[in-house]
Amino acid sequence: MQKIENAIERAIKFRANGIFVSETFDLARKQATKAIENGLKPFPIVVKDCFLTKDAPTTCASQMLANYIPPTTSTVVDRIVRKGGCIIGKTNMDEFCMGTSSQLGHFGPVKSNIRSEGGIEEDWMIPGGSSGGSAVAVQTGIADVALGSDTGGSTRNPAAFNGIFGLKPTYGVLSRQGLIPLVNSLDAPSIFARSAEECWDFLDKTRGLDDNDSTSIDLPESENLDSLKNLRVGVPIEYHNEKLSENAWKIWNHAINVLKNEGAEIFEISLPHTKYSLSCYSVIAAADVASNMARYDSVAYGHRSSNNSSTHEMYAESRSESLNTVVRRRILAGNYFLMKKYRSKYYEKALKIRRLINDEIINSFNNLDVIITPTASGKPPKYSELRDTLYSKEDDDDYFTQAANLAGIPSISVPSTQNENRENYPIAVQIMGNRLNDRLVCDVARMIHTKF
Amino acid sequence: MNGVHIQLNTRTKLFSRTLNGESSPNRLVSPLDMATPGILPSLNRKCVLHALKMGMLFNCEIPKISRFDRKHYFYADMPAGYQITQNEKPIAKNGRFGFYVFDEKIEPYWKEVDIIQLQLEQDSGKTIHIDNKSLIDYNRAGCALVEVVTTPCFSTALEAICFVQQLRLILMNYGICDGEMHKGQIRVDANVSLSFDDITGTRTEIKNMNSIRSIHTAINYEIARQFEILSNGGIVINETRAADNEERTVSMRDKEVETDYRFMVEPNLPNLVIKDEWLDSVRQSLNSTSKPKFEILREKYGFDARSSIHISEDSQLLRFVEKCVEFGATRTILIWMRELKTIMQRSKSVYPPQSQFFIRQFVDLIGFFEAGRLTRLRMLDLLRIYSTSEQEIRNVEQLIDDNNYWKITDETEIMQIVENVLENPKNLKIVEKLRTGFHAKSFNKIRNLIVDLSEKRIEVEEVENILRTKFNLVQ
């Protein structure tokens, strides 16, 4: 119980960081009491605000859902609460998970706690996104583990920017029931923690089939890996590109050296289609966004405009008033890509490219156990930088993470320890494995980290 | 292309576990049905089995793999902004359905139509307009439909309604749909176009018709409307129309522009792979269900197509007829059913009667009549007695014996009665008139006297023949 009270105290201490959309302290206390009654050890968690929680608002950081309290709780949240998880709060994010900065949500920006000595009022480090709030909550020690979501890197990217671990499991291993979708075929509930073991532990507690999610799958039992000896590691050359900062390149090399020193075999590989992942992702994502967002018509729930002059006027005004520019742009683009006239030119092409990217990665695992790449192009930017470049840097970072979503494979972001990192900013590498090798990527991450 | 939407009578909806049925507004709604965010669909197995059953009944190909698509359009009672349906890979396709076409005026004929596909899909909610308010009831939202999509193959409104009528009876027979059209359990979209010299004209679509009558009148109205336009050199606009309450079709203004449905694969549902054991169980269930009643009446008992369908559509009437055939009746009961109906309506009794005892007597009476043992008039009297009196408990044979109602077949006995009337001095004047030539009034008078004297035990026609011969009358 003391643990929960400590977490609440820290949550209050870090209020200025904009970590939470809703604080649910009383709920956490109630859950802790119940856990103790059931003979469990309560532990603090935070949940990204795109997961349904019956007892607290679920807003997706959007005005559209600003007052929305869902009728049910998502499967993953339900499972972790049953194991003793106590929800300290619902965390802030990019509106409807669209973005890699957590800056443009309806409830204000999330401010990183990294290098915050000079204060965070005027300028601050970007926590990454879209699950920025969850990442900062773990970095600041409010929660041991946090739930995020990862569609194109939304967990691994903020994990990298905050110097913690971020695990995106194999698609389907964590149920999507109760996760407000971004791109249904790419979305994966994902995990933040300060160690790879904790990431695995959370996954182990919540994984598996769910009757409510027809795309959910079971993870086969697998042995714990104790040595990196003879591990076959692929290093894709396409991730060494003009976007990659020198520092990030050094850290990546360092990680490869660690692996080599531990007896792993290193192979240079080529994944030539990876360079298309950004445009492929943009089209597929926009199409799903357009479709998924169609339900927000303000008829039965959600923000409703005072303009009621006609049904269509009401739809349009309510949506324009309550969805931000990023969201509205993607809706427009998605509807365009799905139109009869353009469908084969964009949407169907993107699906084909997705298949190529997928096959290329999956085939590479015929001869490899894991692939290692940088998680992001470099250190986290400052808010002022991002603002001045109109958020274009977001795309640079997406490049490194999207392929794992397009292939549905597990991937974990591993933070480097500070000693090799002269600038003292968090930088990370990601370990990707074949589908259902979630345990393997966690084990490799754990072993690298001790020497990293 | 025409579509008939069949509401499946499964216990729960297509993708949620909400009950499928009737209730006060918005009582049968789960989060998925009203499309609250983050809730995923799970396919109802029973709905799949029902659709497979339909596929087999309509001789469709059933592909191993089918899948679901999202069809997007904004409509207030369509909460997700899209309908989950099957567009490219439906559960069944390339089928054929045969049926009889008939009405009072034409000789029934057999017609077969091509079914393009059967698609499993979600129903929408209902919008109810009260004053200037629009209210939405989501009870129906998410219920399972199978849309039967046919080729443009109907030549007349009559063919269309006969198709729907027989489709309905078959689906009800196999427990797929409850068939209550007024409750919207079967809804029809009809595409109407006129062609000239084999060039097909622009079509209009009449949506959402839910009675046989409105399908008939709306299609005919639409044909006439288009004919009028084309005859005057005008152009038919491709648009969606609705059948109104005054047997017309009216343009639905909100859909004048062609909607781009922006189809995409439903990403939350994997491909539906049809298991062999499902097909086996469906086949078994079809084989163990007896054929639709109208087919049995037609094939086994020789009823004509129109009557057998008419009877099948009325459960009371069907029960009556089934009992009759069980007691040995054949299609000849149809004539007597009409008489019985008139009699009972006149006496304000409930037709068709359901008493087993009555039905037995009814069938026996017909048997006696057909064996030439009862006259028509006596038969009608007896029907009157049995259908209106609750006291009569003797069976007909007994009653006829006791009262000697049997038809007189002995020639001399008949002639005796005829002579008695003709020679009766009271009738002398009338008989005289007949001798001088045909005089309708006198003829009828004498005929009736003879029938009366026989206590209706001689057929009217027989008496007439005798009189004609006797007086050498030509009519």
Tokens in use for B131? Answer: 């004053």
CATH number, domain containing residue A151 = 3.90.1300.10
pLDDT on residue A288: 98
Could you tell me what percent of chain A has a pLDDT over 70? 98
Does B264 contact A at CB distance below 8 Å?
A: yes
For residue A207, give the nearest of A163, A170, A255, A244 by alpha carbon. Answer: A170
Is A282 assigned a catalytic role?
A: no
Beta carbons of A70 and A54 less than 8 angstroms apart: yes
* The pLDDT value given to residue B245: 84
Strand partners, B98: B112
Active site residue A393: no
Contact between A291 and B70 using a beta-carbon 8 Å cutoff: yes
Contacts of B38 in chain A (CB under 8 A): 50-52, 58, 70, 74, 177-181
Across residues A161-165, what is the average pLDDT? 96
Search chain A and give the residue with CA nearest B258: A340
Catalytic (active site) residue A154: yes
Q: Which residue has the higher pLDDT, B307 or A452?
A: B307
What residues in B contact A289, CB-CB < 8 Å? none
CA distance A24 to A32: 12
Nearest to A449 by CA among A200, A143, A244, A194: A194
Does the structure show a pLDDT above 60 at B355? yes
Would you say residue A312 lies in a domain?
Answer: no
Q: Which is more confidently placed, A390 or A123?
A: A123
Q: Which residues of B touch A180 (CB under 8 A)?
A: 37-38
* Within-domain flag for A113: yes
d(CA A152, CA A280): 11
% of chain A surpassing 90 pLDDT: 90
Phi, psi of A64 (to 5 degrees): -55, -40
Higher local confidence (pLDDT), B168 or A55: B168
- Return the pLDDT at A423: 65
In the predicted model, is pLDDT for residue A393 greater than 90? no
Q: How far does the CA of residue A45 sit from the closest CA of chain B (Å)?
A: 21
Distance separating alpha carbons of residues B475 and B465, to the nearest angstrom: 11
pLDDT at B19: 97
DSSP state of B35: T
Comparing CA positions, the residue from B77, B4, B72 lying closest to residue B259 is: B72
Asked if omega into A130 is within 30° of 0 (cis), the reply is yes
What's residue A134's pLDDT? 98
What was the pLDDT predicted at B475?
Answer: 55
| CA-CA-CA-CA dihedral for B374, B380, B383, B385, to nearest 10 | -100
To the nearest whole angstrom, how far is the Cα of B361 from the nearest Cα of chain A? 60
Please, is B197 exposed, middle or buried when counting C-beta atoms within 10 Å of its C-beta (0-12, 13-18, 19+)? exposed
Whole-number pLDDT of residue A153: 97
Quick one: pLDDT at residue A107? 97
**Over chain A, what is the mean pLDDT?**
95
DSSP state of A261: H
Cβ of A347 within 8 Å of Cβ of B35? The answer is no
Model confidence band, residue B92 (pLDDT cutoffs 50, 70, 90): very high
Q: Stretch A136-163: mean pLDDT, rounded?
A: 97
Catalytic option among A48, A90, A111, A379: A48
**B89 touches A: beta carbon within 8 Å:** no
- Which range (A202-206, A388-392, B134-138, B168-172) has the least confidence? A388-392
Query: Given this model, what pLDDT does residue A128 score?
Result: 95
DSSP 3-state of A38 = coil
Residue A425 placed within a domain:
no
In this prediction, residue A309 carries a pLDDT of 87
What is the least distance, in Å, from the CA of A107 to any CA of chain B?
19
**Percent above pLDDT 90 for chain B:** 76
Q: How far is B344 from chain A (nearest CA, A)?
A: 54
Instruction: Tell me which chain B residues have a C-beta less than 8 angstroms from the C-beta of A185.
Output: 267
CA–CA–CA angle B418, B422, B424 (5° rounding): 115
Across chain B, what does the average pLDDT equal? 92
pLDDT at B348: 86
Predicted local distance difference test score (pLDDT) of residue A117: 85
Mean pLDDT for A43-72 is 97
Comparison of pLDDT for A295 and B350, the residue scoring more? A295
Question: Is there a domain that residue A118 lies in?
Answer: yes
Instruction: Write the DSSP assignment of A175-215 as a string of letters.
Output: --TTBPPSSTTT-EEEEEESSHHHHHHHHHHH-S-BTTBTT
Cα torsion for A165, A166, A172, A177, to the nearest 10°?
Answer: 110
Q: What is the pLDDT of residues B309-343, one digit of tens each?
A: 999 999 999 999 999 999 999 889 999 999 999 99
- Cβ distance A371 to A234 under 8 Å? yes
pLDDT of amino acid B118:
98
Give mean pLDDT, residues A190-199.
98
Q: Is the pLDDT of residue A419 over 70?
A: no
Alpha-carbon span A273 to A250, nearest angstrom: 24
pLDDT at B470: 84
For residue range B266-299, what is the model confidence (pLDDT) as tens digits? 999 999 999 999 999 999 999 999 999 999 999 9
> Could you give the ipTM of this predicted complex?
0.95
Please report the pLDDT score of residue A4 as a whole number. Answer: 97
More confident residue, B229 or A311: B229
Nearest Cβ partner for A295 among B41, B81, B268: B81
Predicted pLDDT at B257? 65
Would you give the distance in Å from CA B254 to the centre of its chain? 34
Contact A295 B37 (CB under 8 A): yes
Q: What angle do CA B277, B280, B281 make, to 5 degrees?
A: 90
* Cβ–Cβ gap B79/A300 under 8 Å: yes
Q: Is residue A201 part of a domain?
A: yes
Collapse the DSSP code of A350 into the 3-class scheme (helix H, G, I; strand E, B; otherwise coil) and give the result: helix
Which one of B264, B266, B269 would you mutate to disrupt binding with A, by most A Cβ within 10 Å of its Cβ? B264
pLDDT tier, A104 (very low <50, low <70, confident <90, very high otherwise): very high
pLDDT tens digits for range A243-272: 999 999 999 999 999 999 999 999 999 999
Q: Quick one: pLDDT band at residue A58, thresholds 50, 70, 90?
A: very high
- Residue A69's pLDDT band, with cuts at 50, 70 and 90, is very high
Question: What mean pLDDT do residues B172-196 have?
Answer: 95
pLDDT for A80: 98
Q: What residues 238-267 of chain A have any CB closer than 8 A to a CB of chain B?
A: none
Residue A439 within a domain: no
Nearest CB to A212: which of B42, B76, B134? B42
Residue-wise DSSP of A70-127: -SS--HHHHHHHHTTEEEEEEEP-SGGG--SSS-SSTT------TT-TT-SSS--B--
A-to-B residue pairs, Cβ atoms closer than 8 angstroms: 105
The owner of tokens 């309560």 is A42
pLDDT at B93: 98
Instruction: Report the gap between the CA of B244 and the closest CA in chain A (Å).
Output: 23
Are residues A294 and B36, on separate chains, in Cβ contact within 8 Å? no
Domain assignment present for A139: yes
Closest approach of A291 to chain B, Cα-based (Å): 7
Domain total in chain A: 1
Cα distance between residue B407 and residue B384, in whole Å:
18
Domain enclosing residue A118, as ranges: 2-206
CA–CA distance from A67 to each of A61, A152, B35, B81 (Å)? 11, 27, 17, 21
Query: Is residue A332 scored above 80 in pLDDT?
Result: yes
Nearest CA in chain A to B265: A288
Q: In chain A, which residue's Cα lies nearest the Cα of B70?
A: A291
The larger pLDDT score, comparing residue A111 to residue B347, is at A111
Among B40, B48, B70, B126, most A C-beta atoms within 10 A, so best to mutate, is: B40
Q: Given CB atoms, is A315 within the 8 Å cutoff of chain B? A: yes
By C-alpha distance, which of B138, B123, B122, B127 is closest to B24? B138
Q: What is the pLDDT of residue B433?
A: 84
Helical residues (DSSP H) of A301-417, grouped into ranges: 311-322, 325-338, 347-364, 383-388, 393-407
With cut-offs at 50, 70 and 90, classify the pLDDT of residue A317. very high
Question: What's the token pair of residue B450?
Answer: 């003879």
CA distances (Å), origin A45, targets A29, A83, A130, A192 = 12, 11, 18, 10
Q: Would residue A257 count as lying in a domain? A: no
pLDDT tens per residue, range B56-86: 999 999 999 999 999 999 888 999 999 999 9
Distance, CA of A294 to CA of A331 (rounded, Å): 9
